[in-house]
Structure formats: structure tokens, C-alpha cells
Amino acid sequence: MKCRVCRGKAVIQVRRHNANFCQEHFIDHIHRQVERTIDDFKMFGPDHRLVLGVSGGKDSLALWHILTYVGYRVDGLYLQLGIGDYSSESLTLSQQFAAERGLKLEVVDLPSDFGFAVPEAAAASRRTPCSACGLSKRYVLNREAESRGYDVLVMGHNLDDEAATLFSNVLGWNVEYLGRQRPVLPATDGGLCRKVKPLIRVAERETAAYAVLNGIDYEVEECPLAAGNTINRYKEWLNRLEEQSPGIKANFLFGFLERGSVHFSDAEDVELVSCSNCGQPTTGELCAFCRLQAVTFSRKQDL
């Protein structure tokens, strides 16, 4: 197996690009994919204040490494979700990563700053853990990015994440979510920070390979609450399709972004108002996060 660029010994095969790469040229290839995504979707420029949602996993740490390498100044924002050892280990790895590279990591703690942890919120609200987790992350990262004066919130979702989410939204014809599934969500006056996803051209196995080849120490354990996660199941299905037809995942996602997404743009045209409790943008009286927090508090009082 020879590198497409230098004909040296290849370390990875990327079938959807019909290419093999040596270490150096694979790393170059990933940098180019991310830079191209930032340019194509006009995500941000060198003068924007950027903050990256950091989880301690391969995707966010690889993306932090890439953005810093190609010349952006990016701070990190870590949300401690209260998922036992898993959360404390991920926090330690994120702090080590930042300290070794002289990067700034801001830490928000869901239990001490907002009064509850993901497992208890899931139990109290009868949501799945991932649903309580996703809602908390979206809310807190947006609110903190906005209130700390950042222009852009950068997220580490990769090609597999986005293709599986799209698949899930198509299976359920969730038109509102389809309308919002874009690599750039603009800022709004009402308190939504601009949100971008520069890793969407990079597959999960490639971010893992990138992290390993760059000596990045990331959280390899899976979240202990992930059992039964439907998105993970869809990822497996898409991987089986990808094995038979390399490139199908990227075609599915980018075909949607280029030709499908426009047909759903009206669906997200809902009027946002301020949550009566926290002031964050929402469609109802009380935002979903404040409802989750309220139901968790009342369950705690009952116990």
C-alpha cells in the first residue's frame, strides 16, 4: 500500500477518496479537508473569537489540534455533565491537552452551576440519557459562548455523526430538524451564538487515526450511558453500507446539504421568544432546558 502523494509506505486507506496516505500526507489531507470546509461554508475568519465545545474525546481534541495547527486561535469550553468517572477522566484529558499546548480551557460544571447531573435529569424527565445530555450541552454551550463574548461556537461533529443524525431525521421525517441540519447556523439577536461544524468532511475513523498519529491522549472509553443509543446504531448501519459502497455516507450528507436542505428551510422559520425563566431563546414560555431543570429539582425534593 503506497501513499498517493509520495509513493512512500501508506499507513491508512481512505476508500471513499480512493487513496492511501503515509502519516505526513494523511495529516496534510485532514488539514486540507477542514480548511476547505471552513472556506466553502464561510464558517469564520481569522478575526473571529472562536470557542470550541470540548468533550475530551477524539473529535473535539483532534479539531482543536487541527484549527490551532492551521493558524486559528481557539479557546475550549468543557461542560462537566456529572457522568461519574467518565466525566472526571474526560475533564482531566481536556485540561492536560490544553495545558501542554498553552491553550485556554473554560470549564462549566452542570451539577454545581446548574444544580443537576445528566443521569438524574434523565431519570426525572423520562428522557433517554443522550437526550438529556444533548439538550444540556446545546443549551449550556450556547449560553456560555454567547455570554463570554465569543463570535462563533465551533463543534466537533464528524461525517459519521452528521450522516447518522440526517438518517435519523429522514426516518422520522423530522422536518424542523432537517431544516436546521446545516454546517453553519447563524447568530440571532435573541441569544443564539453562530454555530459551525468544520469536521463534517472527516469520518470518525479518520479523526481517531489523526488523534493517534499526533499523539493526542483522548478519552477512549465510551460513555457509560450510551447503551441503546439509536444514533450509534444508525452509524453501524451506515458503516455497513459504506463497506459495500465507499463514499455513500458522504454522498448522503453532502447531497442533502447541496440539494435537499433548501426544501426544508421554511420548516425552521419559527418565531423565537425569550424564556420566562432564563431569557434564552425558545419557542414556548419556558425553554426545554428550564423545564428539564424544574422537573429534576421537583423529583429531588420528592425523594
**What single DSSP character describes residue 192?**
P
How far apart CA 122 and CA 103 sit, in angstroms, is 33
The entry of ligand FES, Zn ion, none that residue 130 binds, CB within 5 to 8 Å by partner kind: ligand FES
Q: Find the shortest distance in angstroms from Cβ 143 to Zn ion.
A: 9
Q: Find the shortest distance in angstroms from Cβ 124 to ligand FES.
A: 15
Q: Find the shortest distance in angstroms from Cβ 270 to ligand FES.
A: 26
C-alpha cell belonging to residue 59: 473529535
CA nearest neighbour of 198 among 67, 289, 72: 67
Q: Which is nearer to ligand FES, 118 or 141 (CB)?
A: 118
Count, residues near Zn ion per rule CB under 5 A: 12
The entry of ligand FES, Zn ion, none that residue 3 binds, CB within 5 to 8 Å by partner kind: Zn ion
C-alpha cell belonging to residue 167: 438518517
> Does position 145 bind ligand FES by CB under 6 A?
no
Q: Which phi and psi angles does 5 have, rounded to 5°?
A: -90, -50
Contacts by residues 228-231 (CB-CB < 8 Å, ≥ 24 positions apart) = 228/128, 229/128, 229/130, 230/168, 231/130, 231/161, 231/164, 231/165, 231/168
- Selected binder of ligand FES within 11, 107, 212, 226 (CB under 6 A): 226
- Selected binder of Zn ion within 5, 170, 184, 226 (CB under 5 A): 5
Angle at which helices 230-244 and 159-171 pack, to 10 degrees? 110
> Does position 133 bind ligand FES by CB under 6 A?
yes
Return residues touching Zn ion (CB under 5 A): 3, 5-6, 8, 22, 25, 275, 277-278, 280, 287, 290
Return residues touching ligand FES (CB under 6 A): 118, 129-130, 133, 223, 225-226, 229
